[in-house]
Amino acid sequence: MRGKKIGWFVGSLGLLLGAGAAWGNEQTATSSGTEATPAAAKPECRDAGVTVAFKTGSAELDLNARGGLDGVATWMKAKEGRTLHLEGFADTTGDSGANLVLSARRAEAVKTYLIEKGVDSTAVLTVGRGEEIDHLPANGRAVTFLACQPGATVATEEKAETKMDEAEGVAPAPEPSPVVVAPVTVIPAPAPPAPQPHWKSGFGWAFMAGGAYQDFTNDSMRSTTDPGGGWAARFIGGTNSVIGFEAAYIGAANQVQTLNSAFNGSTPLLVANGLEGTARLNIPIRRGASLFEPYGYAGLGYSHYTISNYNQNTNVLSSFTSSDDVMNFPVGGGFAYAYKALIMDARAGWTGTYYQNILPGQDETGTLDHWNVGGQIGFMF
C-alpha cells in the first residue's frame, strides 16, 4: 500500500511539473477596463516526467506503476480536453520484431489501466517504438508520457486595437492563420511470426517400433535353424539433422531344427534379446509438411541368446549350449518418410557377432552373424 501511494505521488508530481507552464498561462488575468475574449491556440504538450518501467519480456504493471498511474488518471480527469501520448519501448534482448509487438503491448497496458480509472479512451493514444532505447531509463523497458492540454486563453487586446484602427480608417493587420495540429497516427504493430510446428524445427526426435525377417549367414546355424522374425523399439535423435543416433531394444526368435522335437511335445526356439546404440548419417529432405530421409547406420550392441524348452530336448540339442552372451556390430541403411508427426521407414542390415559359444567347438567369431530386412512406424516430437 505504501509503494502504491509513493507511485501515485510521483506520477502526479511529474504531470504537474510537465504541464506547469501551460497551467500558468491559463491563469493569466485580463487587463483592467478591457473585456478579454478567448482565442484559438494549439494544444500545449510537454514531457510529463513520468516513466513506467517493466521487467524483461513483460507487459505487466507492478504495484509502483499502478500507484503512479493513479496520479496520472487524477490529473487527466481534472480538466476536460487533456490528452496523453504514450510511447512503449523494449530493450535489445530477443527478436526485434517481437520487441516491437511487446513495446506496443506495454503502452496498451498503461492505457487500459487509465481507462479502468475513468479516463476517456479517446484521450489516450499509444504507439510502440520497439528497441529505440538511447534516451530511456530501465534499459528501454518502459512507457513514456507526453501530456497535452488545450491552449491557454489569450486576452485579445490586438483585436480591440484593430477595431480602433478601423474606426480611424487604418487598414487592419491580417489575422494570423490558425494553427492546425496534425493528428497522431498510430501504426499497428505487425503480428509476430507464427511459430513452426515442433516436429518441423530443431534437431528432431522420434520413437518407433517394428519388426523384421532375419536369417543366419553361418552354414552351421543355417543347417540347424530356420529363418525367423525380429522386433525392435527405437528412440531416434536427429531426424532433422545430418548426424543422428539410435538407442534400441532388439529381439529375435529362430526355430531350431530337431527331428525329435515333435516326439518330445515341444519345439525349441533360439531367442535373442538385447540393446543397440548406433550412429546415423541422414540426408533430410523437406517438402512442406513431408520429410524424405535416406540414411545409413553403424554401431555396437549386446544380445543374450537362450534356447527355449532346452531341458525337454537335451537329447537332440547336445550340439548347443543353453544360453550365450554376444557382442553385436550392426550396420545397414534405410529410407524414412514422415508427414507432420507421423514417421515410418524401411531398412536392411547385417549384424556381425563376437564372443559367442552357442555352438561348442565353433569359432567364437561369426557363428551368429545374421542379416535382416524390416520396417517400423512411430511418431516425431
Least-confidence region, from 38-47, 296-305, 351-360, 365-374: 38-47
Does the pLDDT value for residue 143 go beyond 80?
A: yes
Residues 368 and 235 in one domain: yes
Backbone angles phi, psi at 110, to 5 degrees: -65, -45
Residues 358 and 296 in one domain: yes
Higher pLDDT, 90 or 334: 334
Inter-residue contact 291 to 338 (CB < 8 Å)? yes
Last residue of one domain, picked from the residues 149, 167, 185? 167
Does 132 reside within a domain? yes
CATH of the domain at 104: 3.30.1330.60
Q: How confident is the model at residue 96 (pLDDT cuts 50, 70, 90)?
A: confident
For the beta carbon of residue 48, count every other beta carbon within 10 angstroms.
22
Q: What is the pLDDT of residue 237?
A: 95
Q: Which domain holds residue 15?
A: 2-28+35-167
| 173 occurs within a structural domain | no
**What is the model's pTM?**
0.50
pLDDT band at 36 (very low <50, low <70, confident <90, very high): very low
- Per-residue pLDDT, 338: 95
- d(CA 152, CA 64) in angstroms, rounded, equals 33
374 and 270 fall within a common domain: yes
- pLDDT at res. 156: 46
Condensed to tens digits (0 to 9), the pLDDT of residues 286-319 reads 888 899 999 999 999 999 999 887 776 666 677 7
Tell me the three state secondary structure of residue 135: coil
Q: Are residues 242 and 347 in the same domain?
A: yes
Mean pLDDT is lowest, of 20-29, 169-178, 331-340, for 20-29
Residues 246-276 pLDDT 10s: 999 999 999 988 654 444 557 788 999 999 9
Mean of per-residue pLDDT scores for the chain: 79
* 229 in the same domain as 118: no
Q: What would the grid cell of residue 111 be?
A: 492505457
Kindly state whether residue 152 falls inside one of the protein's structural domains: yes
CA distances from 240 to 179, 199, 333 (A): 63, 9, 17
Cβ burial of 187 (10 Å; 0-12, 13-18, 19+) is exposed
Residues of the chain with pLDDT > 70, as a percent, come to 70
CATH number of the domain bearing residue 341: 2.40.160.20
pLDDT digits (tens, 9 = 90+) for 206-216: 999 999 999 99
Residues 96 and 232 placed together within one structural domain of the fold: no
Count structural domains, the chain. Answer: 2
Residue 186 lies in a domain: no
pLDDT band at 138 (very low <50, low <70, confident <90, very high): low
Q: Quick one: 143 and 213 in the same domain?
A: no
> What pLDDT score does 242 carry?
95
Query: pLDDT-derived band of residue 92, with 50, 70 and 90 as boundaries?
Result: confident
Please report whether residue 178 resides in a domain: no
- Taking CB atoms within 8 Å and a gap of at least 24, the contacts of 58-62 are 59/102, 59/105, 59/106, 59/108, 59/109, 60/109, 61/109, 61/110, 61/113
Could you tell me if residue 181 is inside a domain? Answer: no
Cα–Cα distance for residue pair 109/126, rounded to 1 Å: 10
Residues 65 and 118 in one domain: yes
Compute the average pLDDT of residues 191-219. Answer: 81
Alpha helices in 328-377 (DSSP H): none
- Domain membership flag for residue 175: no
Q: What is the pLDDT of residue 231?
A: 97
Residue 332 falls inside a structural domain:
yes
Is the same domain home to 161 and 12? yes
Report which secondary-structure segment, H or E, holds 292.
strand 290-307
- Cα–Cα distance, 71 to 332 (Å, whole number): 74
How large is the average pLDDT for residues 182-186? 46
pLDDT at 224: 86
Phi and psi torsions of 336, nearest 5°:
-110, 145
Given a cut of 60, whether residue 10 has pLDDT beyond it is no
Q: Which of 255, 258, 252, 254 is nearest to 313 (CA)?
A: 258
- Parallel, antiparallel or unpaired: strands 142-149 and 205-216: unpaired
216 and 161 assigned to the same domain = no
Asked if residue 93 and residue 237 are part of one domain, the reply reads no
**pLDDT at residue number 182:** 44
Residues 78 and 213 in one domain: no
The residue from 167, 188, 220 where one domain ends is 167
pLDDT confidence of residue 172: 54
Last residue of a domain, one of 167, 191, 217: 167
What pLDDT is stored for residue 292 in this prediction?
Answer: 96
Our measurement of the distance from residue 320's CA atom to the centroid of its chain's CA atoms, rounded to an integer in Å, reads: 58
